[in-house]
Structure 1
């Protein structure tokens, strides 16, 4: 058989067909790739544990030495008339926000809560330290002593010898609704003193490791922010920044910062200043926050409260008549919900006090009186 060479017109047709085929293949391949990528973005991440980072930072190369002569009196800045409320709020709190340097070279943040020199920070910032230095907003330095620490709340109180240069007010963390604008202030990475980041309050009553009842925010929180304030638009402290979750790979996350609520901070700080330690009242139960699904499964007519999982034999709650499957819906008249979680409300009371519980059992509600005892040593 003799081979023949295709003419120019046939060659062009062949090239067109091949070209169309290649275009179709490229489109198909691109579509498949986009589909796979979209699926990866939209599929929920695996429910594997994520690792939280406590956010103190090394202090070594970040903070220049400053003279320590004289304590400054730092008046809030005076923003222009009509300034953004967040600008006004930050101007009130910044002078009270400090950097905490520990003798081992690590650092964190802190904030003055009393004019007589008391400031609050995280326990993990000061843990293991014996010498503490405070750097004010203007860069001057003074020493501080440890008044007390509560590892179970990750809070600590330090004191400087003289009056505080400025004081921030502890607000009501339970009154701040999710979606409210907030700002975090602290010494990011140890050296970026009084860095301000803004966002919203994302949620109440989050649990992270051994800490529960935490506030969640999407305001950027970085290493070195530990112990610094989370504030509302009124310029009040609503939380003390403690940790951030970032994850990696398919668990990577952004905007997951956590703070200890000011309603917890207030009680713990008062006890540390008065007694050097915190004595927690004891109900003698284990529980989990109630939600609609759990309420439905348990035959309860309420959807908020603390669902009782276990009642300790001969404990205060057992003696009062509380049972597994009950839900505590109020303590001392305060409703229990995400913004007022049970441990936080209970912390307002002392061992030896009588406390009225409002309890849901099935479709009914009733009241019990519990005599609180002191939490047993771990």
Structure 2
């Protein structure tokens, strides 16, 4: 009996040890696989192959055609075509792209990386965030991986995937230099990711992904200064969370309705002066702000009873208000604190 008990104890210990080893192997296997993928011929290399393989099939080429009306010097209208990129967001065939890729066109075609081509329907677009939603009737679509809980941080490595100049899909690598806010883009209605991953003509609307192949933004534009020159290494993308919300609204409503009060602001004033608030630089004639008595150089410190710390926060609060909403606005004018009420209107299209 004692010998049987010892044998049973030995078997249980062996089985337990085997289970522990198996668990360790299962947990560690992905890390081992990654380490092996970074070694070739005994040398360590860095590769984004797995990220690209996950994301690239869901990035499509977009070809759109439209008609430009004639002018005084050339009365006849002419046909033009545009090149862009897009991202397959779900198996139902919804595709996110840039508004300027499909603006004022009457024919849109989508080409997948496996060679399939489809006519696309424009579901809706929003020029203020430079986003548009297309729909294709297709099956077995590759869908872009997403991870909404992972935050984009300054210093993150990113990959921009698109079809520049119609030469075929390309991947450019960059690093995030700013995320959140409007990074100096005055009066924008979309937060932006700023990075140096190159977005050439035709790559707009493509995917910005992290090194895990997860979508973090929709590629947007290159920075152009007030002097008309481009900013070397300064490119933008609309963050995924913002793009997802706009896409959902466009699918449900066909358009995005935003609040508007008619002010221009200095987006960087609060940061430069270490102050919390919004410096008004201009007020549109007959706008809600003008009717409420707001003036250039007024410094807004609260909207709707809540403090505002920056121009992006204040613009977001106004944009998110339903037209007809009355917002109490607190501001300083000549060092005197004042209050007025602004009736929010719909942002003009």
Indicate conservation of the 8 Å contact 2:184/2:268, yes or no. no
Is the CA contact (8 Å cut-off) linking 1:101 and 1:107 kept in structure 2?
yes
Equivalent residue in structure 1 for 2:55, among 93, 106, 111: 93
| Helix, strand or coil at the partner of 1:265 | helix
Deviation per CA, 1:170-228: give whole Å up to 9, x if none. Answer: 8489x5333222221111221322x2211111234245698565432111222221111
Provide TM-score, normalisation by structure 2. Answer: 0.65
For residues 308-339 of structure 1, what are the alpha-carbon distances to aligned partners after superposition, in whole Å with 9 as ceiling and x for unaligned?
2345688655787866522346788696548x
Name the structure 1 match of 2:346.
374
Task: Report the counterpart of residue 238 of structure 2 in structure 1.
Answer: 260
CA displacement at 1:139 relative to structure 2: 2.5
Larger gyration radius, structure 1 or structure 2: 1
1:222 is aligned, of 197, 200, 207, to: 200
After TM superposition, list the pairs within 5 Å mapping 1:202-213 onto structure 2: 202-204=177-179, 205-206=182-183, 213=191
* Local SS of the residue matching 2:201: coil
Equivalent residue pairs, number: 288
Say if 1:354 and 1:371, in contact at 8 Å, map to a contact too. yes
For residues 310 and 244 of structure 1, the distance between their equivalents in structure 2, rounded to whole angstroms, comes to 26
Larger RCO, structures 1/2 (Cα 8 Å, 6+ apart)? 1
d(CA) in 1 for partners of 2:337 and 2:156? 33
Task: State whether residues 327 and 360 of structure 1, in contact with CA within 8 Å, keep that contact through their aligned partners in structure 2.
Answer: yes
CA distance in 2, matches of 1:361, 1:210: 22
Give the direction of change, closer, same or farther, for the CA distance of 1:202–1:305 in structure 2 (3 Å limit): farther
Query: SS where residue 163 of structure 2 aligns?
Result: strand
Q: Aligned-residue CA RMSD in angstroms? A: 4.2
Q: Cα deviations across residues 283-302 of structure 1 (Å, max 9, x unaligned)?
A: 3432222435863xxxxxx5
C-alpha spacing 1:151/1:242, structure 2 compared with 1 (3 Å):
same
Which 5+ residue runs of structure 1 have no aligned equivalent? 1-77, 296-301
Task: Identify the residue that residue 96 of structure 2 maps to in structure 1.
Answer: 120
In the alignment, structure 1 residue 169 sits paired with structure 2 residue 142: no
The question of 1:240 aligning with 2:214 is answered no
| Distance in 2 separating the partners of 1:330 and 1:197 | 41
Q: Which residue of 2 aligns with 1:158?
A: 134
**Matches of 1:366 and 1:149, distance apart in 2:** 39
Counterparts of 1:256 and 1:123, CA distance in 2: 20
Residues 106, 236 of structure 1: CA spacing in aligned structure 2 closer, same or farther, 3 A cutoff?
A: same
Gaps of at least 5 residues in structure 2 are 1-29, 38-45, 66-79
State which of 177, 190, 201 in structure 1 corresponds to 2:176. 201
Q: Deviations over 1:21-80 (max 9, x none)?
A: xxxxxxxxxxxxxxxxxxxxxxxxxxxxxxxxxxxxxxxxxxxxxxxxxxxxxxxxx994
Is the CA contact (8 Å cut-off) linking 2:269 and 2:278 kept in structure 1?
Answer: no
Does 2:84 correspond to 1:108?
yes
- For the residues of structure 1 that align with 2:307 and 2:48, how far apart are their CA atoms? 30
